[in-house]
Amino acid sequence: MSAQEERRQAQELVAVIEREAKAAGRPLRFMEVCGTHTVSIFRAGIRQLLPENVELVSGPGCPVCVTPDSYMDKAIAYAERDDVIITTFGDMLKVPGSRSSLNEVRAKGADIRIVYSPLDSVKVAAENPDKKVVFLAVGFETTAPTAAATVIAAEKQGLKNLYMLSAHKLVPPVMHALLNDPDVKVDGFILPGHVCVITGTKPFAFLPAQYHLPGVVTGFEAVPILRSLARLTTMAARGEAAVENEYPSVVRTDGNPVSRQLTEQVYEPVDAEWRGIGMVPKSGLRMRDAFAAHDIERILPLDIQTVPKKTACRCGDVLRGVVKPVECPLFGKACIPTHAVGPCMVSVEGVCAAWYKYGRGRFIYGK
Amino acid sequence: MANDCITMAHGAGGKISRDLMEKVILPEFGNPLLNELHDGASVNMSGNVAFTTDSYVVQPLFFPGGNIGKLAVCGTVNDLSMTGAVPRYISVGLILEEGFPIKDLRTILHTMRQMADKAGVMIVTGDTKVVAKGQADGIFINTAGIGDIIPGTHISPRNVKPGMKVLLSGFIGDHAATVMASRHGLELPPTITTDCAPLNGLTKAILETAPDVPVLRDPTRGGVAAVLNEIAESSGCGILIEEDALPIRPEVQGVCDILGFDPLYLANEGKCIAFVPAEEADAVLAVMRANEYGKDACIIGETTEEGAGEVGLRTPIGGIRVVDMPLGNLVPRIC
Amino acid sequence: MCLAVPAKVVAVDQMMGKVELSGVTRDVSLMLLPETAVGDYVLVHAGFAIQKVEKDDFDETNDLLAEMHGAPRKVEGPLDREQFS
């Protein structure tokens, strides 16, 4: 699409949003629950184009941010062992545990390797037969199948030294938790496009059915995001509630059944802790007994106690969309990306990091 | 040479050191000033002199379109050029790791000489040290350089005023994308290589056309984003660039899309950003485009009174976002 | 977290494939999309093909805008709106 065409479509969609928001005649709050949407909204400069009464809030869409201290403490403890190589996505390196971070133990000599794909861990395991290779398996429904497939690939190759430290999270259960929280007020959801590629749209049918709220699945460019906002505003203004798919190029009703089957083969749902939100029933994944041989927590159990840190950090409220990052007393002062206090400032996709990086601007054109 | 790897003896100062100099280094670098092999070089300079130094520690040492030696010579030539100088003489300090293949050393030195000739500078002095295996990463290179400041020029970010145009000499991110791709298992077509090049001809042409250009910068580490932020901060102006106007090759954008990078933060080794008074922008653009390293030059934005000290980017849909200083190493984002 | 990009499949060898995006190629696993064929466009996440790409978003937006101007709705995709209302 040419830039002119993109601009034309954006202007038309903004006009639709303005018209419908006016018709609604009340403040509307829409939440995105995918970190890539959070970043895309900032990068495209979408907030400034929206009418006064349409507010976008970010939910717990960054898997690095919602990973609790206790997980990071375990990852760090494994990394400090001489017989362990950690493989991880790059974003995990800076996340603070209760006493250190992977970056710090790496500087002291821990063998920690950044991978683009979980499958790269298989190669590392094959090349280092005398080491235990532990992949830090975080991510939502989109990423869990890639970790499951990696475990199965290792089984097929007869590799016994590849392990997962699993903290996968599931999106629909945490949305339930948010919607049952009286502090959280939203009028609809931008649904996570790439999660829906795997899950399909059906798992989000509870939104209209139980909460009478609209949800729109969409992609990650400026125009598709505006498209979803045009639909959400329209439905909210008209009192309608439905799950709509504005990303049909890759999102099908039934998602990707092969991926889900692999995930189910390796993992089972389990109650899980979300940083800032707490325990959410059946919102995480743990490895099934059949794959216990690849579960580092069962092969090398750790006995470490994580003592919660006491800070004024309001990440928990930020992740629930209750306060904006700028309302946190630490934001931009004690807590900046290079010296993050809370997890939302650590990851590139964290809500606070995105606000800090793109949103402090003194350039104000329009809103 | 009797053996084909660097040994500790090559750095011990005796006959074997001398062999390395006479049989490997001088055949590539030799010129009347260097051949004297004194402790230092005696050279003629006129008027104000620019002086710079930089060290090079890149991995991989060889990459599509270049090697560490090309970076070292071009980097120092470009640093002098951006200061408003005509580069004249450079020094080369080599730190070699025990076991480094002499064949690779020859290749690197050969490239350095080629680049020096291309830029019209002479390698007039140098030094070689050898460290034990494991104490360096193959080869480290330090280059220093001096040049004559072009009379009548006044390079200083403080002279940047609102309303100036921001000119960029060509496609961004080629160098970093080339190196990143090889680190992360991506294959690029052979047409995408490092942009590493000596820019002294380009900057000289710009300054001859518009001697009052206040800023010339090469966006190396930290990319275009870092340079623009530094200039915004030191000048106290705002800088607003247009996303549509940024020249990015589709392949480089592809690497960025896959690995989650922003091209504005990717290092370049043969690009120049010029801040030019608006009335001279067209003339400067014309001379840039006439130079072999500025064929794709374009105007990417302008300086403003609004947003003092900050860099904004206008997106294709008309929103504006802040472009901030890079924070650290680029790591792939899956996440 | 779910960064994913569309790319064209240029080679398939059992459970591995090679994809191309803007001239950049990379090996990807086809374990999550076993029926992938050369010439398909697929969505790639963390080194895996995760879905076949059917249609350009460009048309979808024009369809949505046409609908906003009164044309019948046709961008719904496979999901029946009434089903969940």
Task: Give chain A's domain count.
Answer: 2
Same domain (yes/no): A74, A157: yes
Residue A348 lies in a domain: no
| Inter-chain CB proximity A361 and B318 less than 8 Å | no
Beta bridge partners of A81: none
The CATH number assigned to the domain holding A19 equals 3.40.50.11750
In this predicted structure, what is the pLDDT of residue B120? 97
Assigned domain for A345 exists? no
The answer, for C1 touching chain B at a CB cutoff of 8 Å, is yes
At residue B333, the pLDDT reads 60
Residue A146 or B1, more confident: A146
Given A7, A44, A116, which is nearest B259 (Cβ)?
Answer: A116
* Cα distances (angstroms) measured from residue A83 to each of A134, B243, B309, C82: 10, 48, 49, 56
Query: How many angstroms separate the CA atoms of A11 and C59, rounded?
Result: 17
| Tally of CB atoms within 10 A around A174 | 24
pLDDT at C55: 62
Query: What one-letter code names the amino acid at B74?
Result: C
Interface contact A197-C51, CB threshold 8 A: yes
DSSP code for B5: B
The answer to whether the CB atoms of B334 and C26 lie below 8 A apart is: no
Which of A339, A363, A364 best probes binding to B when mutated, by most B CB atoms within 10 angstroms? A363
Q: Are residues A134 and A152 in the same domain?
A: yes
In the 8-state DSSP scheme, what is residue A308? P
Of C45, C8, C50, C10, the residue nearest C31 (C-alpha): C50
Tokens describing residue B166: 């921001």
Identify which of B172, B158, B152 has the alpha carbon closest to the alpha carbon of residue B243: B172
Contact yes or no for C65 and A209 at CB 8 A: no
| SS3 label, residue A112 | strand
The domains of chain C are located at: 5-75
Residues of A in contact with B315 (CB under 8 A): 43-45, 222
pLDDT tens track for C24-54: 999 999 999 999 999 999 999 999 999 999 8
Tokens coding A319: 């992740």
Look at residue B176 in the predicted model and tell me its pLDDT. 94
Low-confidence ranges of chain A (pLDDT < 50): 361-363, 365-367
Is B185 part of the contact surface with chain C (CB cutoff 8 Å)? yes
pLDDT at A362: 47
Q: What is the C-alpha to C-alpha distance for residues B171 and B295, in angstroms, rounded to an integer?
A: 10
A117, A231, A238, best to mutate vs chain C, most C CBs in 10 Å: A117
More confident residue, B19 or C68: B19
Within a domain: A228: yes
- List all residues of chain A from 84 to 123 with a beta carbon under 8 Å from chain C: 89, 116-120
pLDDT single digits (tens) B84-123: 999 999 999 999 999 999 999 999 999 999 999 999 999 9
CA distances from C59 to A246, B13, B135 (A): 11, 72, 58
Are B317 and A90 a contacting pair at CB < 8 A? Answer: no
Quick one: residue A339, left, alpha or beta (phi over 0 = left, psi -120 to 50 = alpha)?
beta
pLDDT at C84: 35
Spell out the residues 6+ positions from residue B144 whose beta carbon is closer than 8 angstroms to its own. B51, B52, B53, B54, B76, B90, B91, B93
CA distance B261 to chain A (A): 11
Q: Is C22's CB within 8 Å of B335's CB?
A: no
d(CA A311, CA A341): 8
A360 to chain B, any CB pair closer than 8 A? The answer is: yes
To the nearest whole Å, the CA of B181 is away from the closest chain C CA by: 9
Structural domain boundaries, residue A181: 3-60+173-238
Which residues make Cβ contacts (< 8 Å) with residue A286, sequence separation at least 6?
A: A166, A267, A268, A270, A295
Q: What is the mean pLDDT of chain B?
A: 93
Percent of chain B with pLDDT over 90: 81
Asked whether the predicted pLDDT for residue C68 surpasses 90, the reply is: no
Q: Is there a contact between A250 and C62 if contact means CB atoms under 8 Å apart? A: no
Confidence class for position B155, pLDDT limits 50, 70, 90:
very high
pLDDT digits (tens, 9 = 90+) for B9-21: 998 888 999 999 9
In a domain, A79, yes or no: yes
Answer whether residue A324 is part of any domain.
no
The token pair at B163 is 């309303």
Between CA B160 and CA B169 the distance in angstroms is 19
C78–A246 C-beta distance less than 8 A = no
Q: Rounded to whole angstroms, how far apart are CA atoms B57 and B55?
A: 7
Q: Which of B58, B83, B81 is nearest to B68 (CA)?
A: B58
Select from C21, C27, C46 the Cβ nearest to the Cβ of B257.
C21
Q: Tokens 């629950």 map to which residue?
A: A33
Q: Does A316 touch chain C (CB under 8 A)?
A: no
Whole-number Å distance between alpha carbons of B66 and A240: 60
A336 in a structural domain: no
In the predicted structure, residue C71 carries a pLDDT above the cut 70: no
- Give chain B's count of helices (H) and strands (E): 10, 14
CATH of C5-75 among 2.30.30.140, 2.60.40.10, 3.50.30.30, 1.10.1240.10: 2.30.30.140
Q: Are residues A15 and A113 in the same domain?
A: no
Q: What is the pLDDT of residue A349?
A: 79
Q: Say how far apart CA B174 and CA B153 lie, in whole Å.
A: 30
In chain B the domains, ranked by start, together with CATH numbers, are: 8-149 (3.30.1330.10), 157-322 (3.90.650.10)
Residue B220, pLDDT > 50, answer: yes
Q: Which of B269, B183, B175, B267 has the alpha carbon at shortest distance from B226?
A: B267
The CATH number assigned to the domain holding A79 equals 3.40.50.11740
State the chains in contact with A (3 or more Cβ–Cβ pairs under 8 Å). Answer: B, C
| Predicted local confidence at residue B1, as pLDDT | 53
Is residue A213 within 8 A of residue A242, CB to CB? The reply is no
The complex's ipTM works out to 0.91
Q: Please report whether residue A367 resides in a domain.
A: no
* Chain-chain contact of C5 with B257 (C-beta, under 8 angstroms): yes
Residue A111 lies in a domain: yes
Position A357 scores a pLDDT of 82
Contact A195, A140 (CB under 8 A): yes
Range in B126-140, B210-224, C1-15 the model is least confident about: C1-15
Asked if A61 has any chain B CB less than 8 Å from its own CB, the reply is no
How far apart CA B258 and CA B275 sit, in angstroms, is 32
Contact A43 B260 (CB under 8 A): no
Residue appearing with tokens 């494994």? A78
Burial B10-22 (b: 16+ CB within 10 A, else e): bbeeeebeeebbe
